[in-house]
Amino acid sequence: MAQKVISIRPESLMPGARAPRYDGGQLADTLGRPMRDLRISVTDRCNFRCVYCMPREVFDADYKFLPHAALLSFEEIVRLAGVFVGLGVKKIRLTGGEPLLRKDLATLVGMLAPLGADLTLTTNGATLVKHARALKDAGLNRITVSLDSLDEATFRAMNDADFPVARVLEGIAAAADAGFAPIKINMVVKRGANDHQIVDAARHWRTDGRGRGHILRFIEYMDVGSTNGWRMDDVIPSAEVLRRIAAVFALEQAEANYGGEVAERWRYRDGAGEIGVISSVTRAFCRDCSRMRLSTEGSLFTCLFARQGHDLKALLRGGASDDDLRDRIAAVWRLRDDRYSEIRTAQTEEMRAQQRKVEMSYIGG
């Protein structure tokens, strides 16, 4: 994604205004949304080249990943995370890139655990066999594993690293053995790439399937970054995913676990567990979005689609106090007005409406 980092001084956020101070009350952005979740990217590297995320043509041997010195250290991450928790963050997700490529990740988990936030990890599962037990022992609460297909050829084509399904399944089994339950399985659905696998995946992960009843979540393919050649035609809407599954296994909608939950929950009527659908494209959930993102090199992004980050590393390394950091983060959140997906959904609908008009005139309406 073509993201830029800007360095801001709080007083420059609103001309003539002083930096907003966090006064211990509820911190809310311009749309009244609280800051609840923090996603921390611990590396920009990955051992996969998923076609929808890090296409090999772009992320090739010449691609310049961040040098080690640019990365936030564990101490810096923990210090910032502590400030975020002080501002109301309840959930911290470690991600990347592939987070398990960051050396000694379990040590970071052990350093973050005392903050008391719900500590979670999203991984491609490639090396989970090796790390699952240590992560659990260090205090990781929950784990999400991405697995886009159970079919060998389809999965290898999607991860574009010739990585076998079996190794990810072994990782998921190791995580379950270590005590993670339920494990969430993310499946990004891209038309023509893996949509023929939707029902097979559902069957596998049902409680009566071979996958021990972990929770499968179907994610609509998104236009993140600027390298994946996204087209609306490649998106399989969640409604279609549900239709295809319901044709085989009867489904009914289940209550959200909590307000603002990103995945919509559906359960099998025969009691064989549940699935989730994440409709980032067709049913944007910006209204409840409480997520802040901290990049690998310490920039703060208020939206997955934000073009500009706010440089916290310079502050950290420039001797800022915890109060300075807190004021800066609160100032950024208070001015947040992102709702990219909602706007895209509206535009997509408008585009479709226009396309329909064109077709009408074509046939002589």
Residue 224 touches which member of ligand SF4, ligand SAM, none, C-beta under 5-8 Å by kind: ligand SAM
CB of 68 to ligand SF4, least distance (A): 19
How far is Cα 341 from Cα 339, in angstroms, rounded to an integer?
Answer: 6
> In the complex with ligand SAM, which residue's Cβ is closer, 34 or 182?
182
> Pick from 37, 40, 42, 48: which binds ligand SF4 (CB under 6 A)?
48
Q: Which two tokens stand for residue 339?
A: 């709702």
Residue 171 CB, shortest distance to ligand SAM, in Å, is 11
The CA distance from 283 to 237, in Å, is 9
Helix (H) or strand (E) holding 265: strand 264-268
CB neighbour burial string for 164-182, b if at least 16 within 10 angstroms, e if fewer: ebeebbebbbbbbebebeb
Please say whether the beta carbons of 191 and 235 come within 8 A. yes
The nearer residue to ligand SAM, 233 or 255, going by C-beta atoms, is 233
Paired with 118 in beta bridges are 91
In this complex, which beta carbon is closest to ligand SF4, that of residue 249 or of residue 285? Answer: 285
Looking at residue 227, the DSSP 8-state letter turns out to be S
Among 197, 238, 341, 345, binds ligand SF4 (CB under 6 A): 341
DSSP state of 18: P
Site for ligand SF4 in 74-113 (CB under 6 A): 96-98
Contacts with ligand SF4 in 131-190 (CB under 6 A)? Answer: 146
- CA nearest to 98, candidates 43, 167, 142, 156: 43
Residues that bind ligand SAM (CB under 6 A): 46, 52-53, 95-96, 98, 122-124, 146, 186, 188, 219, 221-222, 224, 228
**Contact footprint for ligand SF4 (CB under 6 A):** 46, 48-50, 53-54, 96-98, 124, 146, 284-286, 289, 291, 303-305, 338-341
